[in-house]
Amino acid sequence: MKFPKISEAVVRRLPMYLRFLNELAKSDVQTVSSQDLGRRLDLNPAQIRKDLAYFGEFGKKGIGYDVGYLVEKIRGILKLDQEIRVALVGAGNLGQALCNYNAYLKDNMRISAVFDANPNRIGDRINQLSVQPMEELVRTVREQHVRIGIITVPATEAQRVADQFVEAGVEGIMNFAPAIIKVPSQIRVHYADFTIELQSLAYYLNRGETEEEE
Ligand SMILES: NC(=O)c1ccc[n+]([C@@H]2O[C@H](COP(=O)([O-])OP(=O)(O)OC[C@H]3O[C@@H](n4cnc5c(N)ncnc54)[C@H](O)[C@@H]3O)[C@@H](O)[C@H]2O)c1
């Protein structure tokens, strides 16, 4: 099914809706209003209605949204209704933590292969995955139809790994290394950076005091 092109801000809110809606579904809650969603997610209900209206009229006035239906719709929009395989390169501290978290990932999204350049790590088992040598990356990614690559290597190595993922044919890269990587325009890169988040959070500390001084 084709959906209209939606803004990045909306795409980023959809997983938040989905997480809460999944909780409601687990507790057998069948309908939810945009007010309830707004209260729980600290978002404006009008914003929520606008976001969800992108995909057709799901809500019924006075009753709200059908939780099960909305879960299925959002899963479809985010393509979580299909299996999406993910491969990770860099089986160090962070890479191992992410692989161990793998068991908790939902919605058909799983790390299905892990690679490292260090010969001492090859064959190590991390949460049921065996660390493979880099020489096997292109073949494995193609065979397993991996669509997303995760990079958890040192910054100096990130571009090299990105190039290998591109060669193997992934469609998206999640880069945890503190380095900007260059890839062809059809490949989407998302960055996750703990340090940048913390440093930008620091700006907001003692804000009250600073404002009083002015
Ligand atoms: N984004 C975040 O929030 C966040 C948090 C912590 C660390 N990091 C970054 O994640 C990366 C990994 O950190 P770490 O603490 O796990 O490091 P680590 O040294 O424990 O692990 C890095 C792994 O990458 C492997 N490696 C190195 N070069 C490689 C290459 N060319 N191909 C394949 N494997 C290669 C190493 O053998 C090692 O196993 C670093 O870039 C670090 O700055 C990001």
Which of 169, 148, 150, 141 is CA-nearest to residue 88?
150
CA distances 123 to 82, 152, 202, 214, Å, are 29, 18, 41, 59
Residue 212 confidence (pLDDT) above 60: no
Q: Is the CB of 13 under 6 A from ligand 1?
A: no
Binding-site residues from annotation for NAD(+): 90-95
Q: Is the CB of 93 under 6 A from ligand 1?
A: yes
The whole-angstrom separation of Cα 109 and Cα 105 is: 6
Q: Of ligand 1's atoms, which has the minimum distance to the CA of residue 90?
A: 24
- Listed by start position, the domains of the chain span 8-77, 84-197
Give, using CA atoms, the residue closest to atom 32 of ligand 1: 117
- Give the model's pLDDT for residue 62: 72
84-197 matches 8-77 in CATH topology: no
Fold designation for 8-77: Arc Repressor Mutant, subunit A (1.10.10)
Q: Is the CB of 51 under 6 A from ligand 1?
A: no
pLDDT in tens, 69-78: 899 989 988 8
- Give the model's pLDDT for residue 109: 86
Q: Is the CB of 124 under 6 A from ligand 1?
A: no
Q: Is the pTM of this model over 0.90?
A: no
Residue 44 confidence (pLDDT) above 90: yes
Residues of the chain above pLDDT 90, percent: 68
CATH of domain 84-197: 3.40.50.720
> What is the mean predicted confidence (pLDDT) over 49-60?
76
pLDDT in tens, 165-183: 999 999 999 999 999 999 9
> What is the mean predicted confidence (pLDDT) over 192-205?
92
